[in-house]
Structure 1
Amino acid sequence: MPDAEENHHHRDVSSSNPAMANGKGVLWIFFLLSLMVLLEDFVHADPEDVACLSGVKGSIQDPANRLMGWTGDKLKTPCNGTISELEGVTCNNERVFKLSFAGFGLVGSISPFISNCTNLQSLDMSANRFTGEIPTELQYLVNLAVLNLSVNELTGLIPPSLILCAYLNVIDLHNNRLTGSIPPQLGLLTRLSAFDVSKNKLQGMIPPSLVNRSGVLPRFNASSFLGNKELYGYPLPTPKSHGLSVIAIVGIGLGSGMLSLVVSFTAVCIWLRVTEQGYAAEEGKITHLMPEY
């Protein structure tokens, strides 16, 4: 029975060579570990977050190299539980939870792709040099609670569509170049507790919905709106009258009185001079007509 003898021979070779068996075991372990790593990367890499962060990186310049660690490999797996190796990124439950680039010295525009971070709850891009308009796509960040775009060079209008971010608690847009009026819809954000649009180029009346006076204090005080020359309404102070002050009126009155006195005095002097010259002329005529003795 040659087949039986051959099988028996193979079993003897395998059993007599434990190194070969151990080598196969190591290969299997390595294969399984590699597969686990690949599966882990696949699970952690949410495609929306990847698109979001890739769009953010593509729309900015980074002179200070604060985002130099945002390489392709790390962008593919931005989150590992609550940990992220990307500067400025905080994760929660394998999703991007917070973006904080405050004071990074970034230059560029705010990418509309940021709306792909649908689990984002805090966006802080303050104290940079962002230009352009605030993307209307921010309306899709329905979980957003904090929006801080202050101290930049943003222009254009404040998007009324921010009303769709119903969880917004903070809107800070101060020290930009925003124009137009303040959308009255923002007053319907019931969770809004901090609002600052000071030092922009806004105009028009402050929406009453943002300064509800039903309580003792207004919802937001004057500091939230100062620095907009063409913005008016409560709680901003009433503009001072452009009329003349009492001191100015008194000064003008005194000046006019003095001028009248000077003119009158000058007129009297001229009249006296003319009269004197007239008398002198008459005396000369009389003297000329008198006979000499």
Structure 2
Amino acid sequence: MWFESLHQSHHFIRYMMVVGSRLVFAIFLGNCLCLLLLRTLIDANQADVDCLRTFKSQVEDPNSYLSSWVFGNEAYGYICKFSGVTCWHDDENRVLSIKLSGYGLRGVFPLGIKQCSDLVGLDISRNNFSGPLPSNLTDVIPLVTTLDLSFNSFTGGIPVNIANITFLNSLMLQNNQFTGQLPPELVKLGRLKTFSVANNRLSGPIPTFKSTSINSENFANNTGLCGKPLDECKTASRGKVVIIAALGGFTVAAFVVGIILGLFCSSISVERLLFKRS
């Protein structure tokens, strides 16, 4: 009897030791996960802070509209009070959108914005930005749904890479100085609802967009653009092609005949000269 009681106590102690060790391991694992999550959150918040700090350093602000962007505060959500900045949550430094329309900012497209990895809206319209757009625009703002770069002085071609920003539903590029053709790849933007490239220097055919809300006004004042919803692209008629080909063939034939006659006349002259000498 005494032996059985001791044996049961021994099993109970072993059981409690196993349960206790598992509980300790679970608490340890939970603490590690909490620390990892906290560290990830802190790193993410710091990346967004660095994003805005770099953005401010990369643009000229002659009107001091970004004077509220004062860094150094360690409080959570302090950048959410910056002018033109909206956060996902007021207590987190995670930037949702940046809207700085009409601030009079100058410079090239600020690449530092790439660090705002959760950004879904960017509006820097009605400023004085210039130069070409980065060719890797998708890597800079991969998740944006609204992009407004209108009423600036951007130049060069519209990057083909922009078609890979798959969540775009609004792309406004009007009133700039873009040149070249509209990338045919833009038709891949299946979510696109609003789009405009009016008042640029674009040329060539217009891609066939899926959205029915995109009309001729969205392509106005680009003298080289053609195709629906604008006038059809002009091509040489078949009659003109035939005439041009005939004229080209006649010119080649006349040239060949001229060469042959020249050689023939030269040979006659040589024969006469030899005859006279003989």
Fold-level similarity (TM above 0.5): yes
Q: 2:77 aligns with which of 52, 75, 80?
A: 80
Partner SS state of residue 46, structure 1: helix
The answer as to 2:88 corresponding to 1:92 is: yes
Cα 1:86–1:137 change in 2 (3 A) is farther
Q: Aligned-pair distance for 1:107?
A: 1.3
The equivalent of 1:50 in structure 2 is 49
The answer as to 2:164 corresponding to 1:164 is: yes
The answer as to 2:226 corresponding to 1:227 is: no
Counterpart-to-counterpart distance in 2, 1:71 and 1:45: 19
Cα 1:238–1:161 change in 2 (3 A) is closer
Say if 2:194 and 2:213, in contact at 8 Å, map to a contact too: no
Cα 1:234–1:59 change in 2 (3 A) is same
**Matched ranges for 1:25-40 at <5 A:** none
Q: Aligned-pair distance for 1:218?
A: 4.5
Q: Which amino acid is 2:218 matched to?
A: S
Q: Aligned-pair distance for 1:191?
A: 0.5
Say if 1:44 and 1:80, in contact at 8 Å, map to a contact too: no
Counterpart-to-counterpart distance in 1, 2:46 and 2:67: 21
Q: Structure 2: where are the runs of 5+ without partners? A: 1-37, 235-278
Counterpart-to-counterpart distance in 2, 1:204 and 1:64: 39
Q: Aligned-pair distance for 1:44?
A: 8.0
Kindly report the root-mean-square deviation, in angstroms, between the aligned alpha carbons of the 2 structures. Answer: 2.6
Q: Aligned-pair distance for 1:49?
A: 1.4
Say if 1:90 and 1:99, in contact at 8 Å, map to a contact too: yes
What are the superposed Cα offsets for residues 15-57 of structure 1, whole Å, 9 maximum, x if unpaired? xxxxxxxxxxxxxxxxxxxxxxxx99x8386232133212211
Q: Aligned-pair distance for 1:111?
A: 1.1
Partner SS state of residue 95, structure 2: strand
Partner SS state of residue 62, structure 1: coil
Counterpart-to-counterpart distance in 2, 1:239 and 1:192: 24
Q: Aligned-pair distance for 1:61?
A: 1.1
Q: Which amino acid is 2:77 matched to?
A: N
The equivalent of 1:149 in structure 2 is 149
Q: Aligned-pair distance for 1:142?
A: 2.5
The equivalent of 2:117 in structure 1 is 118
Paired residues in the alignment total 192
Counterpart-to-counterpart distance in 1, 2:146 and 2:196: 12
Cα 1:56–1:137 change in 2 (3 A) is farther
TM (norm. structure 1) is 0.60
Counterpart-to-counterpart distance in 2, 1:89 and 1:45: 16
Q: Which amino acid is 2:86 matched to?
A: T
Q: Which amino acid is 1:80 matched to?
A: G
TM (norm. structure 2) is 0.63
Cα 1:137–1:73 change in 2 (3 A) is farther
Q: Aligned-pair distance for 1:84?
A: 1.0
Q: Aligned-pair distance for 1:120?
A: 0.5
Q: Aligned-pair distance for 1:232?
A: 1.1
The equivalent of 2:268 in structure 1 is none
Q: Which amino acid is 1:227 matched to?
A: N
The equivalent of 2:239 in structure 1 is none
Q: Which amino acid is 2:214 matched to?
A: F
What are the superposed Cα offsets for residues 56-76 of structure 1, whole Å, 9 maximum, x if unpaired? 1112111111101212325x7
**Matched ranges for 1:1-293 at <5 A:** 43=42, 46-74=45-73, 80=77, 84-93=80-89, 94=92, 95-140=94-139, 141-208=141-208, 210=209, 212=210, 218=212, 220-237=214-231
Counterpart-to-counterpart distance in 2, 1:190 and 1:48: 31
Q: Which amino acid is 2:62 matched to?
A: P
Cα 1:137–1:69 change in 2 (3 A) is farther
